[in-house]
Each structure stands twice: as structure tokens, then as C-alpha cells.
């Protein structure tokens, strides 16, 4: 039986879901998290539904049985499209949050009425996405572009140094792919007929936002899902009575780190300084731990010892 002190599970095919974890940690600073990157089996985007669904089930079972998670965030658009309905019916008591390309919020932002959507082939050819698109028929023109290979290239680039300032976007593997797909979508900008809003429909893509920005120009709005997902997770936990408050977090910290001095902060309401130091996040990967460590350090500022390798057959 999960308790308020149980961790929230977060999973993705690889390091992309770290973008969602970053938003979750910011919005829910008293919670514990266990993140699983299925990097040995990434990318999911070009694998097909049956494979992605089997992985999603195996990982949900693993996180539930081995880590007693109290809620699960499927921080992967591709896995959500392939399997969220099945997971929901297999675990009716598990608060579950999935991700889909945020094309509805994009409607509120676009001025030109032309919205670009990038994501994996799996997500963008799914019936779930097809239905979402059909439900907004006539409200905007959506230019939908599957980006084969981009998530995989982002996985591979995690531990490479940042490109030198001023170097051409196309000089890196990720940059060359961004260039190819952005050019295939047509003209970006804020003039009539141009795409003025770009929906990042894959959690990996936020990590190449600077490359995308260099290609589309400053006026184009990017829409991603990390913050809305974090808000939805909070709402679900609240309504299930599973939200962990500052006092519980501080007491757990004091028990785990008797010299840490956090007990003095236990009466504080809301997030406090002491809690922000709690190593409340465990990061697991089925693939290379060095890559996960690089992503964790680079994008979340987390120490390497938060990361370990696991096997999830």
C-alpha cells in the first residue's frame, strides 16, 4: 500500500524525461522521485506499439513492485500514445499522468494560425494523436513533422561538450537533424502564413531547444509539457490524499541524515532551504550509467551518485 512518503515514479525511453523530472522537482520539492531511463531500449519512437507497450508494462510493474511508487508519470509521449490506456486499466488504483503533444495549448498562443508539431513517428502516427488532431479540426493549421533519429541523437550527445558559441547549427548530429526537419516544415516567423508556434511533442527535444531556436528565430513560441504535467501530478496526488508535505519531508530527512539539522526546519510550511539539499531523487537506467550521470549533472545539477544501473527484463 503506497504511503505519502513513497516516491513518485517517472519514466522515459531515455534521458528525455529528465526535462519533465526537472519540472516535477521544482513544483513538488517535498516529494521523493525514482526516475527510470530505459536507455538500453531507446529510442522508442521507431519501434512500434507492441514493443513500446510491453516495455511500458514491464517498467510500471518494476517501479510498483521494487520501489512501491505512489504515482507514475509516463514522461514519454511515445509510451503514452502506445500504452497509457492499458496501464490505466491494469493499475486502476495508481495515479497516472501521461504526456501528449500540447497542441490544444498552442491554439491559445498562435496568432498566424499555423502551428508546427514535432515528435517521434510513434507518437505522431498514433491513433491517440490522430483523434486529438481531429478534435481540433479547423481551429488551426497543424504542420506535423516526425523527427526520426532525433531522440536517439540527443541520447548519444548527452556527454559531448556544448558546441562552441557561434558555430553553425548543422555542425553537430542533433543540429543537422533539427535543420533537416525544421526546413521540411516550411517558413517560421510571425508574419501571416508563417508557423509562429512550435509544439515540442517529445520530451527529449527540450534539450535541443537552443538549436531549434537558432533555426526558427526569436519570435516563434515553443510549447512543451513539463510544467503542466507537474501541476497535474500535484492535483492528482492532492485528490488521492498522497501529497507529501514539508514536515514529512523534513522528518524523513532528519531520520535518514541525523546530523543534517533539518529537524529544525520541520515546522516550516512549504518548501524550505534544508529540504532542497535532500538527495530525494534516484535515477536508474537500463543502459549506460555514464550517460545518465552526464544528463543528470548537466540538466538537473544532480550528483553522479544518484544514478545506478538496473535490469528490467
Based on the shown chain and the rule CB under 6 A, indicate whether residue 76 belongs to the binding site for ligand DGL: yes
- Among residues 241, 289, 240, 280, the alpha carbon closest in space to that of 33 is found at 280
Q: Rule CB under 6 A: choose which of 10, 18, 36, 42 binds ligand DGL.
A: 42
Based on the shown chain and the rule CB under 6 A, indicate whether residue 13 belongs to the binding site for ligand DGL: yes
SS3 call for 96 = strand
Give the nearer residue to ligand DGL in terms of CB position, either 16 or 226. Answer: 16
Give the nearer residue to ligand DGL in terms of CB position, either 52 or 274. Answer: 52
Based on the shown chain and the rule CB under 6 A, indicate whether residue 120 belongs to the binding site for ligand DGL: yes
- Among residues 173, 172, 228, 176, the alpha carbon closest in space to that of 200 is found at 228
Based on the shown chain and the rule CB under 6 A, indicate whether residue 202 belongs to the binding site for ligand DGL: yes
Q: How far is the CB of 46 from ligand DGL (least distance, A)?
A: 7
- Among residues 78, 32, 31, 35, the alpha carbon closest in space to that of 55 is found at 78
Q: Which long-range contacts (CB under 8 A, 24 or more apart) does 55-58 make?
A: 55/13, 55/79, 56/11, 56/82, 56/83, 56/86, 56/87, 57/83, 57/86, 57/87, 57/90, 58/312, 58/313
Based on the shown chain and the rule CB under 6 A, indicate whether residue 44 belongs to the binding site for ligand DGL: yes
Which stretch, 63-71, 76-84, 175-183, 265-273, contacts ligand DGL (CB under 6 A)? 76-84
- The Cα 47–Cα 218 span in angstroms is 34
Give the nearer residue to ligand DGL in terms of CB position, either 41 or 110. Answer: 41
The catalytic residues are 76, 202
- The Cα 225–Cα 184 span in angstroms is 24
The cell for 142 is: 497543424
What element of type H or E holds 299? helix 289-300
Q: Rule CB under 6 A: choose which of 7, 9, 43, 295 binds ligand DGL.
A: 43
Q: Rule CB under 6 A: choose which of 126, 203, 285, 286 binds ligand DGL.
A: 203
x/- letters, 123..162, toward ligand DGL (CB under 6 A)? x---------------------------x-----------
Phi, psi of 186 (to 5 degrees): 110, -160
Footprint of ligand DGL (CB under 6 A): 12-14, 16, 42-45, 76-78, 120, 123, 151, 202-204
Amino acid at each position: 500500500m503506497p504511503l505519502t512518503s513513497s516516491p513518485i515514479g517517472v519514466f522515459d525511453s531515455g534521458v528525455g524525461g529528465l526535462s519533465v523530472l526537472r519540472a516535477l522537482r521544482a513544483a513538488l520539492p517535498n516529494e521523493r522521485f525514482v526516475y527510470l531511463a530505459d536507455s538500453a531500449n531507446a529510442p522508442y519512437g521507431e519501434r512500434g506499439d507492441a514493443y513500446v507497450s510491453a516495455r511500458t508494462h514491464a517498467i510500471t510493474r518494476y517501479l510498483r513492485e521494487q520501489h512501491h511508487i505512489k504515482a507514475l508519470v509516463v514522461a514519454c509521449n511515445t509510451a503514452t500514445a502506445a500504452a497509457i490506456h492499458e496501464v490505466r486499466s491494469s493499475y486502476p488504483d495508481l495515479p497516472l499522468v501521461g504526456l501528449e503533444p500540447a497542441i490544444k495549448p498552442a491554439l491559445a498562443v498562435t496568432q498566424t494560425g499555423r502551428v508546427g508539431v514535432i515528435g517521434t513517428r510513434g507518437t505522431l502516427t498514433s491513433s491517440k494523436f490522430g483523434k486529438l488532431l481531429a478534435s481540433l479540426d479547423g481551429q488551426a493549421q497543424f504542420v506535423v513533422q516526425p523527427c526520426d533519429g532525433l531522440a536517439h541523437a540527443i541520447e548519444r550527445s548527452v556527454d559531448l561538450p556544448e558546441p562552441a558559441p557561434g558555430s553553425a547549427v548543422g555542425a553537430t548530429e542533433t543540429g543537422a537533424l533539427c535543420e533537416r526537419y525544421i526546413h521540411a516544415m516550411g517558413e517560421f516567423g510571425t508574419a501571416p502564413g508563417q508557423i509562429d508556434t512550435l509544439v515540442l511533442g517529445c520530451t527529449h527535444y527540450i534539450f535541443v531547444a537552443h538549436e531549434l531556436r537558432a533555426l526558427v528565430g526569436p519570435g516563434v513560441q515553443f510549447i512543451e509539457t513539463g510544467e503542466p504535467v507537474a501541476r497535474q501530478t500535484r492535483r492528482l496526488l492532492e485528490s488521492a490524499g498522497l501529497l507529501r508535505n514539508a514536515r514529512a519531508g523534513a522528518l524523513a530527512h532528519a531520520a535518514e541524515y541525523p546530523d543534517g539539522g533539518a529537524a529544525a526546519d520541520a515546522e516550516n510550511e512549504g518548501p524550505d532551504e534544508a529540504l532542497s539539499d535532500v538527495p530525494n531523487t534516484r535515477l536508474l537506467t537500463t543502459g549506460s550509467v555514464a550517460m545518465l550521470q552526464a544528463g543528470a549533472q548537466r540538466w538537473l545539477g544532480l550528483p553522479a551518485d544518484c544514478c545506478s544501473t538496473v535490469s528490467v527484463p
